Amino acid sequence: MRRLLSLPPLLLAMSMLAFALVAAAPGDPVVAEAMRQGLALTPDNEAALRQALGLDGSLPERYLRWLGAALHGDFGLSIASGRAVHEEIAGHAWATLMLALAAFALAVPMATAAGLAAAVARSAWAGMAWRLLTVLLVALPGYWLALIALYLAAVHWGIAQVVSDGELRQLWLPALVLALGLAAPASRLVRERALQVMSEDPFRLALAQGLPPRQLLLTRVLPGTLVPVVTFWAQGFGALLGGAVVIEIIFGWPGLGRLVLQSIQERDLPVLQAYLLLMGVVYVAVNLAADLIAAGLDPRMRAGLAASP
Amino acid sequence: MSAGNRGARIGAGLLLALVLLALWPTAWLPHDPLAQDLLRRLEPPSAQYWLGTDMLGRCNFSRVAAATRISLGAALVAAGALLGVALLWGVSAAVCAGRTRWRWVDALLMRAADVLLGFPTLVLALAIIGVVGPSLTTVVVALVVAWAPGLARIVRVLTLEALQREHVAAAHAAGLPAAVVVRRHVLPGLLAPLAVLASLETAGVLLALSSLSFLGLGAQPPTPEWGVMLSEARPFVQTAPHLLWGPGLAVLLATLAFQLLGEGLRSKLDTRAPLRW
């Protein structure tokens, strides 16, 4: 409950930050807009332009106006394209969401399976191979992995296209690249937790009672790993949203990454502002969901006694 | 234990090699990293050009080597600034948390961290770069702003723990000013965990820096920088794939160095001794 109450002030402060960041941007947008339209600035048209861009009035006044419009989904007009920002964002958000969800759907089972397997593996070689793989994957630059995957899949094996046109069947390669980078650290966390659970008394007792270890893996060890891992996944989803930018550019995936890069290059601040706020809200929502799930899984957290080892 | 130790040694060795490469005078490289030879573009590796030539006929090996200075240097500067900001932020919050009159400072500092952490790290960095305008300096500043709050939170918790130890409480009770207590009794205890964090964060910062440069937001061509080089190599993936290996492996090895060093240090500092039956 306290968690829910802390949300409105947090979101409000985040919106203030998104507003302030753009309001404090160097350069006068009025001058830039006049240059773009090829106008000589006179006091007359300057006032009109200022009003058209929503830049008249004091800062708090402008903030409230901007927030009010934003709450209705109106983020103003894109400077580069002249179209409504929410249309631009909506046109690209779908592709990014698909990519992030697909990567997520690939990463979670991969990491869980690899982590559990590494925890129970007896052979030193398997442990070593897993260690090497995760260390390498954590250190591997995602964009380089993407370039290599593109080179192998598109140029050598011909099972993907160098430039995708946003069709769903081309989703798997970028999603896989994104998922690998996320799954490596997650699988280490899963392994660590699994080892922890397996060294605790209830598990030993169950073993001593003669329950088959394989069954215990699913009924005891896996559930025991979930709580800390859920929180990690929420943060990982945030990393996915940011990391997707680079992957989208490389694979030509028509998501928000492309839009954002374009808006940075053209100083299209309204688009950037809307992107920042939207990603922030999504990220806060994902973290909230993770906390609720963790609370549902762990009665101690539900009781408000934050589980601290 | 031994695995961590070996890892730390490999990491330290790699790092040493990279630092040497960064300090290596440009004049001693096989070729001038900026010299173009338009008649010998996109050549595969040969005895003369160890890693081949890029789309302007520049020596790829010399460019990868010369880029070490910028890529590694920027990452170290960013990580240093990150550590300094986080230390100041976290320690002052923790010190203020212990006094009734100053508790609001702690609350303010931590709520500010919450707000910044409300955004995905890279997204916030992108927004800052977009507002200020792309350049290597901007990227470093943006990364520091986006990453510092998370680190500051950890530093605060570590400091709070340190402040509760008895010798620190005793020093405080003896009437030493807070600044002296922090400097003499709190900071030394923070050094070890901070070294681990710093090493791991540098790995992350290095990756982020080079990916932002890859996007064209950081170092600008013709500066040799690993991310920039990979983005220059990208259109030639089909005809000159050899251009991918040098800079990519360089980023990988540099990240690996900090990662191994950090994890090795951590397992070394891990004093939990599991009971051996």
Which SS3 state, helix, strand or coil, does residue A77 take?
strand
Does residue B37 form part of some domain?
Answer: no
Q: Is the dihedral of CA A294, A300, A303, A309 positive or negative?
A: negative
Residue A3, pLDDT > 50, answer yes
A146-165 mean pLDDT:
76
Task: State the CB neighbour count (10 A cutoff) for residue B131.
Answer: 22
Residues in chain A: 309
- Which residues, listed in sequence order, are joined to residue A84 by a DSSP beta bridge? A77
State the CATH number of the domain containing residue B250.
1.10.3720.10
Which range of residues forms the domain containing residue B56? 3-30+47-267
End-to-end CA distance of chain B: 17
Residue B277: the pLDDT is 42
Higher pLDDT, B11 or A216: B11
Residue with tokens 């330290």: B12
Which residues of A are less than 8 Å from B248 in CB distance? 141, 144, 147-148
- Let me know: does A18 contact A273? Beta carbons within 8 Å: yes
Residue B219: the pLDDT is 86
Tokens of A49: 């332009």
Contact B120 A21 (CB under 8 A): no
Could you say which of B118, B120, B130 has the minimum Cβ distance to residue A263?
A: B130
What is the C-alpha separation between B216 and B232, in angstroms, rounded? Answer: 10
- Let me know: does B9 contact B63? Beta carbons within 8 Å: no
pLDDT confidence tier of residue A164, bands split at 50, 70 and 90? low
A157-176 mean pLDDT:
73
What is the C-alpha separation between A58 and B217, in angstroms, rounded? Answer: 32
DSSP state of A84: B
Q: How far is CA B89 from CA A9, A13, B199, B203, in A?
A: 22, 19, 19, 22
Q: Mean pLDDT check: name the lowest of A44-48, A263-267, B167-171.
A: A44-48
Interface residue A241 vs chain B (CB under 8 A):
yes
Residue A307: the pLDDT is 39
Which residues of B are less than 8 Å from A148 in CB distance? 244, 248
CA atoms within 13 A on the CB side of B250: 31
What is the C-alpha separation between A160 and A36, in angstroms, rounded? Answer: 40
Transcribe B38-86 into DSSP letters.
Answer: GGGTTPPP-SSSTT-B-TT--BHHHHHHHHHHHHHHHHHHHHHHHHHHH
Residue A192: the pLDDT is 82
Interface residue A260 vs chain B (CB under 8 A):
yes
What is the C-alpha separation between B265 and A199, in angstroms, rounded? Answer: 24
Task: State the CB neighbour count (10 A cutoff) for residue A9.
Answer: 12
What is the per-residue burial (b if ≥16 Cβ within 10 Å, else e) of B206-244? bbbbbbbbbbbbbbeeebbbbbbbbbbbbebbeebbbbb
Residue A31: the pLDDT is 75
Does residue B229 form part of some domain?
Answer: yes
- Let me know: does A237 contact A183? Beta carbons within 8 Å: no
Residue A299: the pLDDT is 66
Query: Is residue A58 classed exposed, middle or buried when 0-12, 13-18 and 19+ CB atoms within 10 A define those classes?
Result: exposed
What is the C-alpha separation between B210 and B218, in angstroms, rounded? Answer: 8
What is the C-alpha separation between B251 and B209, in angstroms, rounded? Answer: 10
User: Which of A303, A240, A283 lies closest to A10, judged by CA?
Assistant: A283
What is the C-alpha separation between B277 and B264, in angstroms, rounded? Answer: 25
Which residues of B are less than 8 Å from A249 in CB distance? 215
Domain count, chain B: 1
pTM exceeds 0.90: no
Does residue B52 form part of some domain?
Answer: yes
Interface residue B211 vs chain A (CB under 8 A):
yes
Contact A246 B256 (CB under 8 A): no
Task: State the CB neighbour count (10 A cutoff) for residue A143.
Answer: 27
A61-71 mean pLDDT:
84
Contact B123 A265 (CB under 8 A): no
Touching A: B residues 137-166, CB under 8 Å: none
Does residue B39 form part of some domain?
Answer: no
Transcribe A43-61 into DSSP letters.
Answer: HHHHHHHHHHTT--S-HHH
End-to-end CA distance of chain A: 23
Does residue B273 form part of some domain?
Answer: no
Residue B144: the pLDDT is 94
Does residue B190 form part of some domain?
Answer: yes
Residue B1: the pLDDT is 46
Tokens of B266: 């951590």
Interface residue A30 vs chain B (CB under 8 A):
no
Does residue B35 form part of some domain?
Answer: no
Does residue B147 form part of some domain?
Answer: yes
pLDDT confidence tier of residue A306, bands split at 50, 70 and 90? very low
How confident is the prediction for chain A on average, in pLDDT? 81
Residue B139, pLDDT > 90, answer yes
Helix (H) or strand (E) holding B140: helix B136-164
- Let me know: does A283 contact B120? Beta carbons within 8 Å: yes
| CA B208 centroid distance within chain | 8
**Cis ω on the peptide bond leading into residue B222 (within 30° of 0)?**
yes
Which residues of B are less than 8 Å from A131 in CB distance? 3
Interface residue B270 vs chain A (CB under 8 A):
no
A220-238 mean pLDDT:
82
What is the C-alpha separation between A68 and A61, in angstroms, rounded? Answer: 11
Task: State the CB neighbour count (10 A cutoff) for residue B49.
Answer: 22
Residue A30, pLDDT > 80, answer no
Interface residue B209 vs chain A (CB under 8 A):
no
Higher pLDDT, A256 or A156: A256
User: Which of A251, A272, A52, A25 lies closest to A146, judged by CA?
Assistant: A251
What is the C-alpha separation between A216 and A45, in angstroms, rounded? Answer: 75
